[in-house]
Amino acid sequence: ASGTGIEVSPSQKYVTSLDAQSSVDVPFTVTPSQNANLPFHISYQSGDVDHSTDVVLPIIIGNDKTAAVPIVNNVVLTSKGSYYDITGDITNTGITDAKGLTVTVGSPAEGTGTYAEYAIGSLSSDDAGSFEVTFTTSDLSSVPLVMLWKDAVGNDYRVTKTLNLGSVSEYGGNSSVSRPSGSSGVGASGYTGAGRTGGGMGGASLFSGSRNSGISSFYPVIAAAILVVVGIVLYIKRKWVIAKFRKQ
């Protein structure tokens, strides 16, 4: 047994004899790297006559429902002159852990510099980790982000997510890219998707026309209130003194 894109071990088995209307189990270990047809060549002898036949077994790789599922969000792109720097988060939404998770870029982009490949390590189910990759490319509209990891028994997994990083806007000397739908996070230089940085809320106050002028805007009102209170006290005291003199 052999096939393109398939590893078979052992490559052949020998059965000494097989009686009529009987069967025998012949185990093979098959490791496919792609969908393919696996041909089995069977040769045998009946009496003095040689016979042979071929049996083709289709190998179709399905989705592992227990595998880790990496989701990328909070992507931020920064231009570094001769290369780009991309950061983001990866969340494992699968039901098993991703062992030895690494992140890089695929062709036509090319990893370069300090973080050509970034190792996150083990990422548990429902956990998240950050990454940073430095790379060069001539086409920001299609940057393949490649994630590789192993499961608990050593099987290799690979997922590629193609990012459109072409919508770049300059802010504070850095470049930030709009994030995928449903994601959130802070972009370059603290810029958020809401289109607003920190600072006061602005708007008019009741007396001074600005909320940022502080308590000093209330000084005229406070002084007027004190004068009114003093006037009332003096008026009451004056009436009390006049009433006292009249009794005398």
Element (H, E) at 118: strand 118-123
Phi first, then psi: give them for residue 224, nearest 5 degrees: -65, -40
What's 222's DSSP letter? H
Q: Domains of the chain by range and CATH?
A: 6-59 (no CATH), 70-183 (2.60.40)
One pLDDT digit (tens) per residue for the chain, 248 residues: 566 778 888 888 888 888 888 999 989 888 887 888 888 889 988 888 899 999 998 888 777 788 999 999 999 999 999 999 999 999 999 999 999 999 999 999 999 999 999 999 999 999 999 999 999 999 999 999 999 999 998 988 999 999 999 874 332 233 333 333 333 333 333 322 333 333 333 333 333 344 444 455 556 667 777 777 777 777 776 666 666 666 55
Q: Are 169 and 175 in contact (CB under 8 A)?
A: yes
Specify the residue for token string 């708007």.
Answer: 203
- Helix, strand, coil shares, percent, the chain, to 5: 15, 40, 45
Distance between CA atoms of residues 46 and 248, nearest Å: 150
CB contact set of 135 (below 8 Å; sequence gap of 6+): 83, 84, 86, 105, 109, 110, 111, 112, 113, 116, 143
Tell me the pLDDT tens digit for each residue of 215-242: 555 566 677 777 777 777 777 766 666 6
CA distance 109 to 139: 8
Q: Measuring CA to CA, which residue among 115, 116, 101, 106 is closest to residue 139?
A: 106
Of 165, 156, 126, nearest in space to 31 by CA: 156
Region of 225 please: left (phi>0), alpha (psi -120 to 50) or beta. alpha
User: How would you write 70-108 as a 3-class SS string?
Assistant: EEEEEEEEEECCCCEEEEEEEEECCCCCEEEEEEEECCC
Instruction: Give the integer Cα–Cα distance in Å for 164 and 74.
Output: 13
What does the block give as tokens for 185? 């996070």
**What is the token pair recorded at 247?**
């009794």
> Are 218 and 224 spatial neighbours (Cβ–Cβ below 8 Å)?
no
Rounded-to-integer distance, Cα 105 and Cα 144, Å: 6
